[in-house]
Structures are given as structure tokens and as C-alpha cells.
Amino acid sequence: MKYTTKALHTKYPKSDIYGALRIPIYQNAAFEYGSSQELEDVFTGKIAGHTYSRATNPTIEELENKIKSITSSLGVVATSSGMSAISNTLFALLKSGDNIITTNKLFGHTLSFFQNTLVDFGIDVRYVDINSTESIKNSIDEKTKVIFFETISNPELIIPDIKAITALAKERNIVSVVDTTMSPFYIFDSKKYGVDIDVISATKYISGGGTAVGGLIIDNGNYDWSKYPNIEKFYTKFGANAFISKLKKQTFRNIGSCLSPQNAYLLSLGLETIALRADRTKDNTKDVAYFLLDHPKVKSVNYPLLKTNPYYDRAKEYFLFPSSILTFDLEDKQSAYEFMDKLSLVRRSTNIQDNKSLIIAPYHTIYSEYSDEQKSSFGLRSGTLRLSVGIEDSEDLIEDLRQALEVI
Ligand SMILES: *Cc1c(COP(=O)(O)O)cnc(C)c1O
């Protein structure tokens, strides 16, 4: 079965007593059992079941099972947000004295987590030029446990040489943790390209409608956990499932970043239509990129599928398409704001990969806390706009952009 068929038809473990075609929202904290012995057996893992929704819940488990089936991965943990997927993964893998290699061109709150939270726990975070395999190599030592990067950075749209980095990680026995939010599983086959652990903000493409905040941790089964020091105890007991078991029985359960059943339900619904939505935004983004490229008032367009883009070859090699985000430059802040305020279809908002097209001026909003030098090192200028292309009819979208460009 292919993607959408699996998303629609992955069976849930017990049939519903009313024959509901969709698993109900189990909006409850605790579960009861017919006898004391049965309750003990569920607690000790002799029989499968749920005890308390911070640990597991049927609606959330259904979402995890669907994703496991779609991705052919070893295991999945759904979490309360993309940030909790990232923090839980790293708390499970790292301990004081370890180091992690990454880049400073990351999603802002991920960078803040590295700079302000991880360091307080005695973890050495090493920032490298992610485009230089040499500089990654030079930063590795015996205390390096993890390499972390994003498949496509935002808003710069840097695409690292994913295959080369995961191969290097494998050779040096380092775990590759990759944020694939910009290009989730329908768009990028992370297992095939050697990624060990996928972390995803499900808030974006998976929700689609921008309905719920949520996160996913996926173990692709590429890493041999028998070689990982911080997980030995779990390897002895759970074998290949060591990492997922450590999360479920320790890190994730203890930190308490469970997803709400209501949000799991909404994300599960979104999952069913990713392929349709992605195929549509693939075409829309290309149409919009070419329209902007040809427009005299647009100074430059950054989209990896434009032939002059430095990441064109990697975009072609790795992805079904390199996400539905593009940036473009207008003359200055004033023209950018006049243009944005004239838009009637495209919404002024910070989210990405919503069904609706969204626009923002990152220089003055998302990155407003950064210095001018830092902003320019992220490739941002005062007149830069980030557009997240939605699933509208592309003629309508382009007409909206065209009429708004006329006023500036
Ligand atoms: C949004 C986002 C996150 C954080 O996800 P939340 O669900 O908002 O916590 C992490 N990484 C990337 C690339 C994102 O776009």
C-alpha cells in the first residue's frame, strides 16, 4: 500500500463497539480494569493496555501507529509540540559532558534551546558550517554523541548534503537527529537517506489546517543502539526498540510532554490528506516562484527549484519538492509593508505550511530580537518577505500577489 491508502486504512487495535469509522477521542486521564490482576498485568507490560494518558492513550497511539505504518519506521512517539519532540530526543540521548554538533542557522526556538537550555545541563553545543563536511569532521571527538540539522532551513532555505552528513555520522557512530518539519515523510524519505531520528513539528504540514500544536519523534531503525552508551540498560531489555522504550518509560513520561487526545485526533485527520495537499502546493509554489521571478518590482526570489539556486541539485535529489516556502525581496520595508497590507487572500501570519497562504517579514518580526549583523548573516534584509504557499487555486493566488505589487 502507498501513502494515502495507509493513512486512511491502518486498523486500530480494538474494533469500536459502535463500529465508528474513525477512532473516538479518548478525552480521559485514567483507565480501569475488571480485576486487580489485570491492572497489574497492564502495569507490568504482560498485557497491552493503557493506564494513564500522560504515558499512553488510545487516540494518540492510533496516530503513532499510522505514522509508523506510513514511514515503515521502527517506532514513533507523538509529543505536545515540535519543540518537545526536539527536547525529549536530546534529553534522552545526551548527558552532562557530551557534545552535539549543529549549525546556528536553525529554527529560532531550537537555537534558543541549544544556547540557553542545553548548555545549562553541561552539554557542549558545537556550531559548524553545515555545508562543510570538513568542518563537521574537525569538530567530532570521542564525546560527540549527536549531530543535529534541518533538511531545509527557514527562511534561508539552505539544504545540507544530507547523504554525506548521515554517512559521516554512521562512520563515526554518532546519532543523526534531523528536523524534517519542512519536508515530512511524504516529501522526503529520511530512512532511505540514512537519518537515524526524525523530529517533526506536526503543527505544520501534518495538521494542514493549522488546527493543533504537536510533535513527532520517529526512530527509523537505522542506528544500532547496542553501541550507544546512554541507552545500554534499555538495549538489554528491549533490543532494537531501546531508544523508543527509553523515551516512553523514562524521558518522555517523566518530562510529561504528552500530546492531548483532541490534538492527536486533529493531526490524524491531517495525516490523511498530506499527499493531496503537498501535490497541490508543489505546483502552486512553482507557479508563484516563476510569477515573482518575472515581476519587475521583485528584486530577487529564493526558491531551491529555480535553476540558479545553489541548492537546486540537492533539492532535486532529496525531495519530492523542497517545501512550499519561498522568500523574495522588495525594495525596502515600506514597499514590503504596503504590499503585504494590500493582499486580500494571503494572510499576514507567522505559521508555515498551512492550507492558507501566509506571509511575514521575518526581519521585523521573527528575528526582531537579533542584531542587524545577525539578521544579515541569516540572509535577511529589511524588504525580505517569506511566503508559505497554501492550497488555494493558483490563479487566485497569483492575482492577489499581482494586484498588491501594483500599489508599490
Ligand atoms: C515550527 C517548527 C518547530 C517547532 O515546532 P512547534 O510545534 O511550534 O513546537 C521546530 N522546527 C521547525 C523547523 C519548525 O518550523
Q: Which of 287, 354, 296 is nearest to 321 (CA)?
A: 287
Average pLDDT over residues 57-66: 96
Mean pLDDT (whole number) for 187-195? 98
Average pLDDT over residues 321-345: 98
Strands 215-219 and 197-201: antiparallel
Say yes or no: CB of residue 213 within 6 Å of ligand 1.
Answer: yes
| Mean pLDDT score, 282-287 | 98
Q: Looking at the 3D structure of the chain, how many domains does it have? A: 2
Residues 251 and 288 in one domain: no
Tell whether 64 and 146 lie within a shared domain. Answer: yes
Per-residue pLDDT for 227 more than 90? no
Q: Answer whether 83 contacts ligand 1 (Cβ < 6 A).
A: yes
Q: What is the mean pLDDT of residues 397-406?
A: 98
Distance separating alpha carbons of residues 216 and 169, to the nearest angstrom: 22
Rounded to whole angstroms, the Cα distance separating 389 from 265 reads 25
- Tell me the mean pLDDT in the region 208-237: 95
Q: Are residues 267 and 280 in the same domain?
A: no
pLDDT tens digits, residue range 94-110? 999 999 999 999 999 99
In sequence order, the 6+-apart residues with CB closer than 8 A to the CB of 77 are: 64, 85, 88, 216, 217, 244, 247, 248, 252
Residue 14, pLDDT score:
79
pLDDT (0 to 100) of residue 47: 93
Nearest CA-CA partner of 57 in 19, 30, 83: 30
The pLDDT-based confidence of 15 (bands split at 50, 70, 90) is confident
Task: Determine the average pLDDT of the residues in 292-298.
Answer: 97
Pairing relation of β-strands 144-150 and 175-179? parallel
**Exposure class string for 142-178: b at 16+ Cβ within 10 A, else e:** eebbbbbbbbbbbbbbbbbbbeebbebbbeeebbbbb
Asked if residue 399 and residue 259 are part of one domain, the reply reads no
Structure confidence at residue 11 (pLDDT): 82
Is the CB of 201 within 6 Å of ligand 1?
yes
Spatial distance between the Cα atoms of 70 and 5, rounded to a whole number of angstroms: 9
Helix axis angle, 274-294 to 394-406, nearest 10°: 30
Could you tell me which residues come within 8 angstroms of residue 318 by beta carbon, excluding any fewer than 6 positions away? 151, 159, 162, 163, 183, 188, 193
Q: Can you tell me the mean pLDDT for 125-132?
A: 97
271, 294, 316: which is the final residue of a domain? 271
The reply to whether ligand 1 has any atom less than 6 angstroms from the CB of 208 is no
How many Cα neighbours within 13 Å face the side chain of 182? 26
**Residue nearest atom 5 of ligand 1, based on CA coordinates:** 82
Residues 21, 150, single domain; the answer is: yes
In the predicted model, what is the mean pLDDT of residues 193-216?
Answer: 96
Task: Return the closest-CA partner of residue 264 out of 201, 215, 209.
Answer: 215
User: Binning pLDDT at 50, 70 and 90, where does residue 68 land?
Assistant: very high
How much distance in Å is there from the Cα of 408 to the middle of ligand 1? Answer: 33
Does one domain contain both 250 and 282? no
CA 96 to chain centre: 26
pLDDT at 295 over 90: yes
Atom of ligand 1 nearest to the CA of 154: 13
Q: In terms of domains, do 264 and 283 share one?
A: no
Atom 11 of ligand 1: nearest residue by CA position: 107
Please give the distance, rounded to the nearest whole angstrom, from the Cα atom of residue 21 to the centre of ligand 1.
31
Backbone angles phi, psi at 381, to 5 degrees: -125, 170
Q: Average pLDDT for residues 263-282, to the nearest whole number?
A: 96
Q: What domain range includes position 121?
A: 3-271
Instruction: Kindly give the number of the ligand 1 atom that is closest to the alpha carbon of 202.
Output: 7
Mean pLDDT of 165-173: 98
Whether the per-residue pLDDT at 12 is higher than 90: the answer is no
CA 214–ligand 1 middle distance (angstroms): 9
Cell of 61: 497511539
The answer on 295 and 195 residing in a single domain is no
Residue 402 has a pLDDT of: 98
Angle made by CA atoms 392, 397, 401, in degrees to the nearest 5? 155
Pocket test for ligand 1, best of 203, 267, 366 (most atoms within 8 A of CB): 203
Average pLDDT, the chain: 96
Question: Percentage of residues in the chain with pLDDT exceeding 90?
Answer: 93
Report the pLDDT averaged over residues 190-208: 97
Ligand 1 pocket member 180 (CB < 6 A)? no
Predicted confidence band at 238 (pLDDT cuts at 50, 70, 90)? very high
pLDDT of residue 5: 93
CATH of the domain at 292: 3.90.1150.10
Task: Answer yes or no: do 366 and 394 share one domain.
Answer: yes
Residues contacting residue 174 through CB under 8 Å, at least 6 positions apart = 101, 140, 144, 145, 146, 147, 168
Is residue 311 pLDDT above 90, yes or no?
yes
27 shares a domain with 67: yes
Answer yes or no: do 27 and 13 share one domain.
Answer: yes
Q: What is the CA radius of gyration of the chain?
A: 22
Residue at which a domain ends, from 242, 271, 300: 271
Which of 149, 153, 178, 181 has most ligand 1 atoms within 8 Å of its beta carbon, as the pocket-test mutant?
Answer: 181
Band of residue 13 on the pLDDT scale cut at 50, 70, 90: confident
Question: Which one of 252, 271, 290 terminates a domain?
Answer: 271
CATH of the domain at 140: 3.40.640.10
Does residue 19 sit in the same domain as residue 32? yes
Q: What is the pLDDT of residue 263?
A: 98
